[in-house]
């Protein structure tokens, strides 16, 4: 049974390799109160907007340069003759920091954000309501997500003024001044209609005040459910995967035999138990230091480079292939012996410094086995995050250090420890097969981004089918690697693991002819790269294309899933939508976006969603990571980072940030013919019913507008 547990733990690396930061959409919870419960007509009172912000997230304030890049917090009031605004919005004590991605100072709130707006009360029962827009960003993942909701202030008691003058003018808020205008300090000019609302956001995103009440309710419910389901669990899941990876690392031939030798050293020393604690803490500190260095070296701009550029992806591909072949027994990877010997000599000096260097020596000696696992964790956490690499390394090293400390405290436990043997090499070989399979993901990303077409879906699947089939035969003892011990009979745990492996192989086989393989959505190249797809309709049976006569840019480079028809250029989509009088569905996506593929495979394929996308919208897919360079005449310099945008992906990413104040994928926007938002955008959410409601709310807002 011990061997069974060992083999089960070896699968943990497979899980770790697929750990991806889920797109999180936390929603700040707002409360709306007056600064005092009662005023006289004609007097002023402060409206207090209080936001309770989710843990590990922050919200941008309203009092820094609106042209810098982030979405400022704004409040848009519906104009009427019961109140008027006085002055501008006043954020209460926000923090200030320099953000490298924007190259400037921003002001923000953590935990709690408070804004105040002074208004003059003009009637006995003032009607004070409107909509908010704001942006929250994660300290953990670096994602920035827009938010917004309807607000209303109720419960103010208004007493009659002795000499109150009659007011007939109404002011709209100017909480955060528009770009290029001076700060507003006086009430706005009289309005001609009580049904209009003046947008006061800092960017060029229009407010969604035309949305129907039903649509607004749908948006609020969707955001609330999304926030509750996301909940920041991805960091906890990543830490758990890192901890399991640490347990897997213990079962490798480089580490497992060292445990009894190291424990024996501490049991024979003065203050041995305390030094064992120091030893374990030193291991954690060394690995956490590695995570800290990674987090400091990476920046937000590095995330896109790391995830989409051919150089890092091919480098990771080569590293995984190298370690995979090493695990299979082709060669042994070791660090320079001189460096390791120097660390070992320092460990022999004794004292607590010697204990630290002894821990450092363990890290170096075990590198050939732990390197791929640590590398997998760092790759999964890279992208400018500060917390994630540190948490990952701390969790990994904690699992790594626990046995050394525990066995030193309780030496009698060593008797129950399995003896070293051939099973250690079996674990190593299993990890080797998994490393080879995971390496293909990095090559696939570069292949898609640069349109090489070297690793299309059927070729990728063929590699995985062969790799996992060989793994199944290895578990059955039909294949032996150079360092394997002879197998006279197959144990029940190995038999069970081989059954699981071959089941996975059989599951993948139909994918060669077009099966969607939803369980692997996001980890395989897109369905459109498949040369022979039985799911595609025959030309004779297919409905004539409504876009057959339309000139569509980049249609030779990109394809929509599920035989949907659409555009890949923003302006073309808007022009066609105006022609056919439909709203536009914007899909900000990416070749290397796992969550985008998951949404397409699990949500878009739902009949209710697919029917709405087909009939109610003009679809435009905008790839933000595509490296296809445009003609020089189409280059331009971005107004948010002053960099020249030369590629399709760079221009689409710039559009998403400048126009829609967001840089996360997937990001879905429902807009009118001018590109104005109809409802609040939507991100990663695997509930088809909610996505269908999102599409319905956008259509309702479009028809009303």
Residues 185 and 274 in one domain: no
Bigger pLDDT: 402 vs 407: 402
Which two three-digit tokens encode residue 548?
A: 């057959």
Model confidence pLDDT, tens digit, residues 471-494: 999 999 999 888 887 888 888 989
**pLDDT tens for residues 518-528?**
778 667 887 77
Its pTM stands at: 0.47
CATH code, domain carrying 86: 2.60.40.1250
Same domain, 189 and 287: no
Burial 648-666 (b: 16+ CB within 10 A, else e): bbbbbbbbbbbbbbbbbbb
Same domain, 156 and 267: no
Does residue 649 lie in a domain region?
yes
For residue 565, pLDDT over 70 is answered with yes
Looking up residue 600, the CATH number of its domain turns out to be 3.40.30.10
pLDDT band at 169 (very low <50, low <70, confident <90, very high): very low
User: 392, 426, 460 — which closes off a domain?
Assistant: 426
Q: Rounded to an integer, what distance in angstroms lies between the CA atom of residue 531 and that of residue 439? A: 23
Domain extent at residue 648 = 561-704
- Based on the fold, state whether residues 599 and 667 are members of the same structural domain: yes
Q: Which of 153, 179, 200 is the last residue of a domain?
A: 200
Integer Cα distance of 582 and 99 in angstroms: 39
Q: Are residues 41 and 184 in the same domain?
A: yes
In a domain, 691, yes or no: yes
| In the predicted structure, residue 384 carries a pLDDT above the cut 90 | no
Instruction: Write down the pLDDT at residue 619.
Output: 95
Cα 405 from Cα 383, distance rounded (Å): 33
Q: Where residue 38 falls among pLDDT bands split at 50, 70, 90?
A: confident
For residue 555, being part of any structural domain is answered with: no
Do residues 263 and 289 both lie within one domain? yes
Q: Are residues 6 and 54 in the same domain?
A: no
Residue 560 has pLDDT above 80, yes or no: yes
> What pLDDT score was predicted for residue 92?
92
Q: Are residues 186 and 87 in the same domain?
A: yes
State how many domains the chain has. Answer: 3
Task: Give the mean model confidence (pLDDT) for residues 648-659.
Answer: 90
Query: Which is nearest to 36 in space by CA: 186, 156, 193, 199?
Result: 156
In a domain, 536, yes or no: no
pLDDT reading at 580 higher than 90: yes
Whether residue 419 is contained in a domain is answered as yes
pLDDT for residue 414 is more than 70: no
| pLDDT band, very low/low/confident/very high, at 379 (cuts 50, 70, 90) | low
Q: Are residues 177 and 45 in the same domain?
A: yes
Q: Is the pLDDT confidence value at 418 over 70?
A: no
430 vs 229, 251, 379, 520, CA distance in Å? 34, 12, 21, 20
| 24 has pLDDT over 50 | no
DSSP one-letter string for 638-651: -TTT--EE-BHHHH
Beta-bridge partner residues of 46: 118
């Amino acid at each position: 049974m011990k061997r069974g547990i060992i083999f089960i733990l070896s699968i943990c690396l497979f899980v770790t390799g697929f750990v991806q930061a889920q797109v999180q959409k936390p929603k700040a919870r707002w409360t709306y109160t007056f600064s005092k419960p009662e005023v006289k007509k004609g007097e002023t009172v402060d409206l207090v907007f209080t936001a309770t912000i989710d843990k590990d997230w922050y919200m941008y304030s309203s009092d820094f340069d609106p042209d810098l890049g982030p979405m400022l917090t704004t409040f848009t009031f519906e104009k009427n003759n019961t109140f008027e605004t006085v002055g501008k919005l006043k954020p209460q004590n926000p923090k200030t920091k320099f953000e490298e991605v924007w190259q400037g100072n921003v002001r923000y709130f953590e935990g709690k954000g408070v804004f105040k707006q002074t208004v003059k009360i003009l009637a006995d029962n003032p009607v004070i309501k409107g909509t908010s827009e704001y942006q929250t960003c994660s300290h953990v993942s670096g994602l920035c997500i827009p938010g917004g909701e309807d607000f209303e202030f109720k419960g103010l008691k208004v007493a009659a003024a002795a000499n109150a003058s009659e007011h007939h003018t109404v002011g709209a808020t100017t909480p955060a001044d528009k770009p290029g205008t001076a700060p507003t300090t006086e009430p706005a000019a009289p309005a001609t209609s009580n049904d209009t609302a003046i947008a006061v956001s800092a960017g060029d995103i229009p407010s969604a005040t035309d949305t129907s009440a039903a649509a607004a309710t749908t948006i609020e419910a969707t955001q609330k459910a999304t926030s509750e389901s996301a909940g920041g669990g991805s960091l906890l899941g990543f830490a758990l995967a890192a901890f399991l990876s640490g347990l897997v690392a213990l079962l490798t031939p480089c580490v497992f035999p060292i445990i009894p030798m190291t424990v024996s050293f501490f049991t024979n020393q003065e203050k041995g138990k305390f030094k064992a604690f120091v030893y374990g803490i030193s291991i954690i500190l060394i690995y956490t230091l590695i995570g800290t260095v990674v987090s400091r070296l990476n920046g937000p701009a590095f995330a896109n480079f790391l995830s989409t550029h051919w150089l890092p992806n091919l480098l990771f591909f080569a590293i995984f292939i190298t370690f995979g072949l090493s695990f299979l027994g082709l060669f042994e990877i070791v660090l320079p012996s001189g460096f390791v010997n120097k660390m070992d000599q320092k460990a022999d000096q004794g004292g607590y410094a010697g204990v630290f260097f002894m821990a450092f020596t363990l890290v170096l000696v075990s590198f050939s086995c732990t390197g791929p696992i640590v590398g997998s964790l760092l790759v999964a956490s890279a992208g400018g995050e500060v917390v994630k690499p540190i948490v990952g390394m701390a969790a990994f090293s904690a699992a790594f250090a626990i046995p050394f400390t525990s066995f030193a405290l309780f030496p009698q436990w060593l008797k129950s420890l399995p003896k070293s043997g051939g099973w250690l090499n079996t674990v190593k070989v299993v990890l080797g097969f998994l490393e080879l399979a995971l390496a293909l993901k990095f090559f696939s990303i570069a292949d898609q981004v640069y349109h090489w077409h070297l690793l299309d879906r059927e070729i990728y699947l063929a590699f995985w089918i062969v790799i996992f089939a060989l793994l199944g035969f290895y578990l059955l003892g039909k294949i032996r690697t150079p360092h394997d011990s002879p197998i006279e009979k197959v144990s029940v745990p190995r038999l069970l693991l081989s059954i699981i492996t071959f089941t996975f192989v059989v599951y993948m086989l139909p994918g060669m002819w077009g099966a969607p393989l939803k369980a692997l959505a996001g980890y395989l190249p897109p369905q459109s790269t498949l040369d022979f797809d039985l799911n595609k309709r025959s030309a004779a049976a297919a409905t004539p294309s409504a876009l057959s006569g339309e000139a569509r840019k980049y249609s030779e480079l990109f394809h929509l899933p599920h035989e949907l028809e659409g555009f890949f250029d923003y302006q073309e989509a808007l022009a066609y939508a105006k022609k056919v009088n439909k709203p536009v569905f914007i899909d900000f996506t990416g070749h290397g976006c796992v969550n985008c593929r998951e949404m397409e495979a699990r949500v878009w394929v739902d009949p209710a969603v697919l029917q709405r996308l087909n009939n109610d919208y003009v679809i435009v897919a905008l790839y933000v990571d595509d490296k296809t360079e445009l003609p020089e005449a189409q280059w331009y310099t971005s107004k948010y980072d002053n960099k020249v945008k030369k590629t399709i992906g760079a221009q689409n990413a710039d559009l998403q940030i400048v126009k829609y104040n967001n840089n996360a994928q997937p990001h879905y926007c429902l807009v009118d013919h001018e590109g104005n938002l109809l409802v609040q955008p939507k991100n990663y959410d695997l509930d088809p019913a909610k996505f269908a409601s999102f599409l319905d709310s956008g259509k309702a807002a479009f028809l009303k507008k």
